[in-house]
């Protein structure tokens, strides 16, 4: 977060988020994408994916740890209800690619070097094995991967004349698997889902349980599975920029059952990105940005902390700028705290429907770090990071730095609460935002618009 002198909030241009055309041409995204590319922009929106009908339900026990609020890092700071001000908003035109593919310690002893001679050239040789990469926690990456791999699966989906590939995480011994909704979208209707466990070459059939196109999360179940190893949820609310992470996934669908492993750090937190195809899109809040390599096929796979606990679901990667330049090392993952809030409805077999309503704000959940840094008077709610020009929020007078604590009669504890309420409404609906601006409690009437086309 920048410490540079703040701008006058009354003079701040809050309409800095550009719109970038979506495209379905792989050449404008990533040249290695094996099929029609899913792309996205940082702040443009069209209609969401079609709702799906759940097939069955599940009540399996989930192994995980509840997330508690802690520090976070954002690059877009509030300007009205704050003590300090932020840097300018992240306004670079950027396209994102949803990343579903379409079809011990260091070695302690070094052996004495030997030498051989071939054609008059002497070559020094050693017989010791290469040393493993080690995370700041002291955990070697090979050991961490060996611990988590049995709980990671490759996913292959066929339907509607297409074949999609992605990754999933086993969260129950009975075979419940979390993945991205866009990974399994082709299976809706009469499609099929096949999973391959890590270390295996044999696919197993799976059934669709619940879907959430709004948040791009889905739940499937491996048919006839029992006594499977499961992942452990970490605390995504405790992440800080610079924390070490490891991504695992079926990158490019190269070989089912042999996931790719990459390493990196948390580059930033609280990102708002819009991702989708040329016909539909979805806006995702509070995304984790990482420089760990994420590629098509990684969708639905785990982003791990240095203890091997899941702190995010790999979902999207930046593709190209509007001028055609390629971006590098910018990937996004859905925080596990968001996923945990969706599990109850997913397990019940529910399907979330998005009617296309749009407030016109970018928001982030309140954290202790934000509260302390900007002197907020409340510890929960959704902080308005920016207001988009020409939207209902802009017309109603919502300002950057407002804290949304309620919508109509519903209490807002986080950004996820705002998304849940708005996604169930239709364009033209009128809502009352209850916000805190400095020491003032305000009620603002907002008429919801339609998610703008790119």
Express each pLDDT in 303-325 by its tens digit: 999 989 999 999 988 876 666 67
pLDDT in tens, 359-376: 988 888 888 878 888 889
Which pLDDT does position 70 carry in this prediction?
37
For residue 156, what is the DSSP state? E
Task: Give the Cβ contact number of residue 403 at 10 Å.
Answer: 27
Which pLDDT does position 52 carry in this prediction?
40
Domains (range + CATH), the chain: 19-102+135-352 (2.40.10.120), 357-450 (2.30.42.10)
Angstrom distance (rounded) from CA 209 to CA 349: 5
Which two structure tokens, joined as six digits, stand for 56? 């069955």
Angstrom distance (rounded) from CA 435 to CA 53: 35
Contact call for residues 33 and 114 (beta carbons, < 8 A) = no
Angstrom distance (rounded) from CA 281 to CA 45: 6
Cα dihedral 224→205→303→102 (10° resolution): 180
Which two structure tokens, joined as six digits, stand for 104? 């011990």
Catalytic pick among 216, 243, 305, 309: 216
State mean pLDDT over 92-111.
53
State mean pLDDT over 335-362.
84
At 119, the pLDDT band (50, 70, 90 cuts) reads low
Task: Give the Cβ contact number of residue 350 at 10 Å.
Answer: 17
Cα dihedral 176→177→181→186 (10° resolution): -90
Question: Helix, strand, or coil here: 358?
Answer: strand
Catalytic pick among 44, 81, 182, 243: 182
Angstrom distance (rounded) from CA 410 to CA 422: 11
CA distances from 438 to 192, 378, 379, 398, 400 (A): 53, 10, 13, 13, 12
CA distances from 407 to 162, 173, 359, 378 (A): 40, 38, 11, 16
Contact call for residues 195 and 153 (beta carbons, < 8 A) = yes
Task: State the average pLDDT for the chain.
Answer: 74
Q: Is a pLDDT exceeding 70 seen at residue 75?
A: no
Which pLDDT does position 101 carry in this prediction?
67
Q: Is a pLDDT exceeding 60 seen at residue 36?
A: no
The yes-or-no answer on residue 441 being catalytic is no
At 269, the pLDDT band (50, 70, 90 cuts) reads confident
Which pLDDT does position 82 carry in this prediction?
46
Angstrom distance (rounded) from CA 117 to CA 85: 66
Q: Is a pLDDT exceeding 60 seen at residue 63?
A: no
At 58, the pLDDT band (50, 70, 90 cuts) reads low
Which pLDDT does position 50 carry in this prediction?
41
Residue with tokens 């791999």: 149
Angstrom distance (rounded) from CA 246 to CA 250: 14
Angstrom distance (rounded) from CA 187 to CA 171: 21
Catalytic pick among 280, 281, 299, 345: 299
Decide which of 90 and 379 is more confident: 379
Q: Is a pLDDT exceeding 70 seen at residue 453?
A: no
Task: Give the Cβ contact number of residue 430 at 10 Å.
Answer: 12
pLDDT in tens, 401-452: 999 999 999 999 888 788 778 877 889 999 999 999 999 999 999 999 987 6
Angstrom distance (rounded) from CA 237 to CA 426: 31
Q: Is a pLDDT exceeding 50 seen at residue 302?
A: yes
The yes-or-no answer on residue 216 being catalytic is yes
């Amino acid at each position: 977060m920048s410490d540079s002198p703040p701008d006058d909030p009354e003079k701040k241009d809050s309409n800095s988020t550009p719109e970038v055309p979506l495209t379905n041409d792989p050449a404008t995204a990533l040249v290695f994408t094996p099929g029609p590319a899913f792309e996205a922009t940082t702040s443009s929106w069209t209609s969401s994916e079609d709702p799906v009908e759940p097939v069955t339900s599940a009540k399996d026990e989930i192994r995980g740890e509840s997330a508690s609020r802690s520090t976070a890092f954002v690059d877009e700071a509030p300007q009205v209800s704050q003590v300090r001000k932020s840097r300018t908003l992240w306004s670079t035109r950027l396209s994102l690619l949803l990343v579903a593919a379409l079809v011990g310690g260091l070695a302690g002893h070094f052996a004495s070097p030997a030498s051989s001679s071939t054609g008059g050239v002497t070559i020094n040789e050693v017989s010791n094995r290469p040393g493993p990469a080690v995370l700041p926690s002291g955990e070697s990456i090979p050991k961490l991967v060996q611990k988590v791999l049995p709980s990671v699966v490759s996913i292959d989906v066929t339907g509607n004349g297409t074949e999609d590939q992605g990754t999933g995480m086993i969260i129950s011994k009975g075979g419940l698997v979390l993945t991205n909704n866009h990974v399994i979208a082709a299976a809706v209707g009469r499609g099929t889902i096949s999973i391959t466990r890590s270390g295996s070459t044999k696919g197993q059939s799976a059934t669709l349980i619940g879907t959430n196109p709004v948040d791009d999360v889905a739940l499937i179940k491996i048919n006839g599975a029992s006594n499977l190893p499961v992942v452990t949820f970490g605390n995504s609310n405790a992440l800080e920029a610079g924390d070490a992470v490891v991504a695992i996934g079926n990158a490019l669908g190269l070989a089912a059952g042999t996931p790719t492993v990459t390493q990196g750090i948390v580059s930033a937190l609280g990102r708002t990105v819009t991702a989708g195809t040329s016909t539909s899109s979805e806006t995702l809040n509070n995304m984790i940005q990482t420089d760990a390599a994420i590629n098509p096929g990684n969708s639905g796979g785990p982003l791990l902390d240095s203890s091997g606990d899941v702190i995010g679901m790999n979902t999207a990667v930046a593709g190209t700028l509007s001028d055609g330049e390629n971006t590098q090392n910018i990937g996004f993952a859905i925080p596990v705290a968001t996923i945990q809030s969706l599990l109850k409805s997913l397990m019940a077999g529910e399907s979330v429907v998005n009617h296309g309503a749009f407030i016109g704000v970018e928001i982030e959940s309140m954290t202790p770090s934000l509260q302390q840094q900007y002197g907020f008077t409340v510890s929960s709610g959704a902080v308005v990071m920016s207001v988009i020009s020409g939207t209902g929020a802009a017309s109603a007078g919502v300002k950057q730095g407002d804290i949304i604590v309620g919508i109509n009669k519903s209490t807002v504890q986080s950004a996820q609460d705002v998304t849940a309420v708005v996604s169930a409404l239709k364009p033209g609906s009128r809502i009352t935002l209850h916000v805190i601006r400095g020491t003032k409690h305000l009620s603002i009437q907002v008429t919801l618009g339609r998610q703008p086309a790119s």
